[in-house]
Chain A
Amino acid sequence: MSEYVSSVLEELVPRFDDEHGDWGRVVADAGAEASTPTAYRSPPDATNTSSARNERPTRWQERRLTRRRLVVIALTAVLAALLVSPAFGIGDRLLSLIQSKPTPLDVQAPAWSPDGRTIVFVSWRDGNGEVYAMDADGSSPRNLTQNPARDVRPMWSPDGRRIAFVSRRDGNPEIYVMDADGSGKRNLTRDRASDDDHPTWSRDGRRIAFVRGRPHCVTRGLRTTPRRCTIAEREGKLADDVFRFFLYDLYVMNADGSGQRRLSLRLPEGTPQMEVRPTGGQLVWSPDGRTIYYGRYLVSVDGSGARRLPGQMGSGSRPVWSPDGRRIAFTRARPHSQTGPGPCCDPTPADIYVMNADGSGTRKLTHSAGYNSEPAWSPDGRQIAFRSTRNGNREIYVMNADGSNQRNLTRNPAQDSRPSWSPDGRRIAFISDRGGRRLEAHVMNADGSGQRSLTLDGT
């Protein structure tokens, strides 16, 4: 072949030899979404050649996950959930609880009730996901769902009286709600043709937003129904040119399941259709309940439209509303081609921005080298804690909400990340690998003093 063609192709797309991905985030996202209805069911059966057919097919292997791996995944989920939880103030109690009690660790998605008295979590001890609850001291664990189907992703209503969750008990993933004691389970979505996930309560508890995925199939460039694909595949007609996928939409409904509406709207002419993906980012209600942030979009709950946020905000942009709901802080990467790799662990330099809640008035708050990300508003909205690699390794910084007075709080050669304020604004929790150990939860005073481990001290 022509070396000239090869050389041009080589120039067209840069190499990324200095990038190694973020396996921890992959595992965390997959673990946190273990209930997701296999957004991807199976790859196109393009290996259906004679040699491939002679191989022995393996059976469903999900049970191959060893207990140890589940524990690792669950611990990652526990730490992540704790440190992004607005109820951080009691997070250290849960961590100490996990250390001190023989609590089964094969759990996911622990969530405190709004009154702090009860913890719900998902356990896989029976081989399928079940939603459990226990008292805050670890006593009285009880299975709230008790069903052989997978029940996962419990979400407390703001008043603490109900729990939304995702269940496959009717054959496919649906959004359910039950009372806090496990009684009164109701299927809210009732749509056998689609898979529903990620229930998220509005702050007034009157509505639930969720993501709905519908299966599609494309063959030879034409979209058709999954059923037709299945029939054609069975007849051997589409062996080498078929793939299945889900298309996702953002929905909102009343808390009783009525009034389901699709919010994923086509944007103004010339801009792409709204992209909704199972791993596309957080689904966050604005404090006033009028807007939902999802992925790269601000979506009006009244259905009047969606606005794509400016620039390239990847799913890792982690936008966060200010406590008063008037501003949003987020991370935006600088183009790789302009800057080259960053100094440390985050290959592409990035900055923290803030904009008004309507998407206007974007301002860049960080201007230093390195990767500045994970903004976290202080409860009073006056400061933003964040992660930065400007000094060569990941450190927790804090700045005023206008970007002034940026200072390094952690000053440690370890990798520190995921800052999260306590409700009273006096402490900041974060994750660190200091001491050469695995990632552990730490806490410090808001001025950086008094740094200590939550998970290692006293053990």
Chain B
Amino acid sequence: MAQPQPERIETGSIADIETIYREHYSRFLRFAVANLGEVERGRDAVHEAFVRAIKSVGDFRGQSRLESWLWRILMNVCTAEQRRRVVPTEDMAMTGVEDADWPEIRAAIASLPERQRTVLFLRHYADLDYEQIGAVLGIARGTVAATLNTAHARLQAVLGEVKT
């Protein structure tokens, strides 16, 4: 079993941000694409999130890990992007990606409460564990687990209907 990594002292320098960007870009992008539904918009969101991170690195107060802070910035960029956009009705269910596979599960994801959907995406597409998700959202580990269970149950129900 892997030893838990010691918590790094977070200074919030641009070099630290660069390290995280280079190591985890594909995960940031996948999370953004899951939220925004288009690869190009996902790229733009990740780009914008890190531009903002550099520009506001002075606002990083060390209250959380730097990576958690970056995930929150990306989450906010995606959320603002979604809310700013007036989405045509027929696209309301397309919270996932641009391809039209699995329309039922996409509709189910789109209908999840925002918190459940965010936890789901952070777990599956950002590949964060419960502790990390809790740090990003500022909620307890147990709350993360309960939220994720609820989201899974709803999706399972939809998938069950699809299978039958």
Contact = CB atoms under 8 A, between A and B. Distances in A.
Interface of A: 1-2, 4-6, 8-23, 25-27, 29-31, 33-34, 36, 38-49, 52-53, 55-58, 60-62, 64-65, 69, 218, 221, 239-241, 243-245, 247, 270-273, 275, 277-279, 312, 314-316, 333, 335-337, 348
B72 A21 contact: no
A57 B11 CA distance: 10
A366 B24 CA distance: 33
A43 B69 contact: yes
Given A30-B55, A34-B55, A314 B40 contact: yes
A1 B13 contact: no
Given A8-B159, A44-B76, A333-B40, A19 B60 contact: no
B11 A16 contact: no
Chain B interface residue bracket vs A:
35 or more
A46 B136 contact: yes
Contacts of A36: 55
7 contacts: A11-B102, A12-B109, A13-B30, A25-B47, A43-B69, A58-B61, A65-B13
Interface of B: 11-15, 18, 21-22, 25-26, 29-30, 33-34, 38-41, 43-44, 46-48, 50-64, 68-69, 72-73, 76-77, 79-81, 83-88, 96-99, 101-102, 105-106, 109, 114-115, 120, 124-125, 135-140, 148-149, 152, 155-156, 159
Given A42-B56, A65-B14, A52 B69 contact: no
Chain A interface secondary structure, helix, strand, loop or mixed? loop
B137 A46 contact: yes
B70 to A, nearest CB: 9
Nearest to A10: B124
A39 B44 contact: no
A58 B76 contact: no
B78 to A, nearest CB: 11
A289 B11 CA distance: 47
Contacts, number: 217
A240 B43 CA distance: 27
A108 B61 CA distance: 27
A15 B97 CA distance: 12
Contacts of A47: 63-64, 68, 135, 138
B79 to A, nearest CB: 7
Given A52-B64, A69-B14, A39 B124 contact: no
B51 A62 contact: no
A100 B139 CA distance: 56
Nearest to A36: B55
A18 B40 CA distance: 15
Given A38-B55, A218-B79, 10 more contacts: A1-B148, A30-B54, A43-B69, A45-B138, A52-B64, A60-B59, A61-B12, A241-B115, A335-B39, A337-B39
B139 to A, nearest CB: 6
A11 B101 contact: yes
B67 to A, nearest CB: 12
Given A5-B155, A61-B60, A315-B44, A40 B102 contact: no
Nearest to A17: B26
A61 B138 CA distance: 23
B59 A13 contact: no
A278 B39 CA distance: 20
A36 B102 CA distance: 41
Most chain A beta-carbon contacts within 10 A, residue among B11, B39, B72, B79 = B39
Contacts of B148: 1
A6 B124 contact: yes
A348 B98 CA distance: 15
A272 B156 contact: no
Given A44-B76, A279-B47, A239 B138 contact: yes
B57 A273 contact: no
Given A12-B105, A13-B34, A245 B76 contact: yes
Contacts of A21: 21-22, 25, 29, 46-47
